Structure 1
Amino acid sequence: MNALSRSGDSPGSRNPESCRRCAAAGPTCCTLTPGHEELCFPISEVERHRIAEHVGLSLGAFTPEANSGAFLSCMRRLFPREGKLLESLFPESGRHLRLSVSPGGHCVFLQADGCRLPREARPYYCRLFPFWMADGRVTAFAAASCLVHRQGRTVAGMLTLLAATEGQVRDLHGRLRLAWGLPPREDMPAVTPVPARFGT
């Protein structure tokens, strides 16, 4: 098993207390604004199967969502130079899966003490947050509600708080890209787009 698939080897996993404290304080990155569900990140088939292996195929855990213009706009902001590939992965007439949420916008797996999924079973996007890759650099989302973001202030500070490294973030981001149908790095040849990888 690869190191980043083990609990304790991905961003945040060595400091689960941060996630518990954030969940207790709320709101968290596991909550979205009701009515904005279409903007939630997609769940690939490999991620869905991994979750199912740990918790079973719980009815209502995943929700089909249309590949709306607003969704694609968000995806283009994440991958600004790969718009054409995104359009083939998420065709306008198609759908993708996302995690289900409560009427209040809370993730179906969110509990009072944080996510009930073991870290190795969580979606790649969740395991990466608050980090991302932009222009080959490790960056972080400007998430005002994120406890680690408020306390760490800088990317280096957040990495230190979570006992994570830039190498771990880069590796996990590459895994997310592969699961979502993109090449591991932006400068690599594109894989063949397969919309079915999103279970639709």
Structure 2
Amino acid sequence: MSLRRTSGDSCDLARSVTDPRAFELVYDAYATRVLAFLARRTFDAEAARDLTAETFAQAYQGRRRFRGSTDDETAAWLYGIARNLLNRYIRTGVVERKAVERLGIRVPQLVEADYERIVQLAGLADLRAVIAEEFSRLRPDQQTAVHLRVVEELSYPEIATRLAISEQTARARVSRGLRQLVAGVENVPGMKEGLT
């Protein structure tokens, strides 16, 4: 059986259950897009590379559970896996990185060319510029609240104490600031990809 896609093929992922080689077509069709999706959200080329690999490993292992029949359903399923892995990465990443450092494990690093290629594919330079521009448009009180929550990772009670405001006001400032940032970022080409 040829691995070349024909006009009659509607879903290589479903076909890969009986012909595992068809999964190569799934990988070829979606790997770059999933990598860019993850890089735009982690701002870390190495993490995006690792999460992409894990996305496709889980997709391959779980391909028998896939119930779709179209390429759109394949994309939705892959992005769903990627989002779940990203959420877990965000929740556990700090703890894992500290454990790796504590154990003295040396993690292989990307070479500069690989890193630059991922940054280029994900459009991170443009995205950073947009975020910086949108951040500068926030009211100063929102800038401070967003910085404390996102950069310094303070809890809402800690932000309220630091700024001498109520927790409800702290939540409102962060929420409004993040909504404004998201509205600006959504105008960057490709940022909404995989969110539907």
TM bucket normalised to smaller:
under 0.3
Q: Which has the larger radius of gyration?
A: 2
Q: TM-score, normalised by structure 2?
A: 0.25
Question: Which has the larger share of strand?
Answer: 1
TM-score, normalised via structure 1 length: 0.25
Which is richer in helix? Answer: 2
Does 1 or 2 have the higher relative contact order (CA < 8 Å, sep 6+)?
1
